[in-house]
Amino acid sequence: MSNDGAVSEFIDKVLQNIFKIFYAGLYESTERSLEGLFDSFNREVNKATNLISAGPKQWNTSAYSMMQSVSENVCIPIAAVFITVIFCWELIHLVQESNSMHNIPPERLMIVLLKFALCLVVCAYSFKIVMSFCDLGIWASAKLGGHTSTSLWNFQLTLEDMGIDPTPEKITFSAVMELAGYKVMLAIGTVGIWICGAIVYVRVMLWFIELLLYASPAPIPYSTWMNKEWSQMGMNYTRKMLALSFEGFFILLLFAVYGGVLEGLQTGDFKQNLVMIIGCGFGLAVMMFKVGNISASIFNAH
């Protein structure tokens, strides 16, 4: 063998040893980044699932108590004014239709008084009534909770599963740079997944706040049920509260869909899988802000 060939072979072996060191270090670091890719996201999903299954009262007892106090001490007196006005309106119509009270059947008057009494009772317990809608949604969410965050939490994906050989026979500079590029992509992906997890947490907090805000003035729309023309206000409010109560259920359904997508990503191209994971994560974050419209459409609460 010539001196040039020996030198070339020596340089090639030295480069191979250097590439192996860099490749092994990058591979191990990238594998750790991939394993921890979902840590922050899964924590937020798990936390959100537990909060949704617990309900707004367990989320923040002080906020729940304050809204209940507002409903009972502020909104019920306002509702009493509405009931009084509507009751007087009903009596006026009754007088007009009965020839100055000469032809009023006793049962007709009893029905008006019974409606008045029932409306008072409903308004007095309106906050508990609408929160029972929330309890129904929480019950459905708790039944669904076992099928959502578990699939995300136990999801594991290795570089080898994604088509990257841990010990190639010959390592080139381009292979090292390609692995370094994957490391950078995973770093960006980790930031993206963290942002998605923060969005998940914020969306659940906004849902609880909106739910309590809508629940506190419940006596006011329920005070209109006594009158046929005004009762549509109470019906629209009931549909809105049902839609709000089931938003948590639909949020958990989104988690289940995302978990199903991840379970299908066991083999294939690294870049394709990474783009799918991060893209679906951002898709999940965007869809979480459309959950309200989906629930409102189902319950016709527009």
- Tell me the per-residue pLDDT of 28-79, one tens digit each, with 9 for 90 and over: 777 777 776 666 667 777 777 788 888 888 888 898 999 999 999 999 999 9
Q: Per-residue pLDDT tens for 135-190?
A: 898 888 877 755 554 444 445 556 665 566 666 667 777 777 777 877 787 787 77
- The more confident residue out of 173 and 246 is 246
Global pTM reads: 0.74
Give the model confidence (pLDDT) of 191-213 as tens digits.
777 777 788 788 888 899 999 99
Question: Which percentage of the chain shows pLDDT scores above 70?
Answer: 76
Residue whose tokens read 């359904």: 253
Res 283 pLDDT > 60: yes
Higher pLDDT, 272 or 50: 50
Number of CB atoms found within 10 A of residue 184's CB: 11
Structure tokens that stand for 165 in this block: 């050989």
Please report which confidence band the pLDDT of residue 10 belongs to, taking 50, 70 and 90 as the band edges.
low
Token couple for 10 = 């020596």
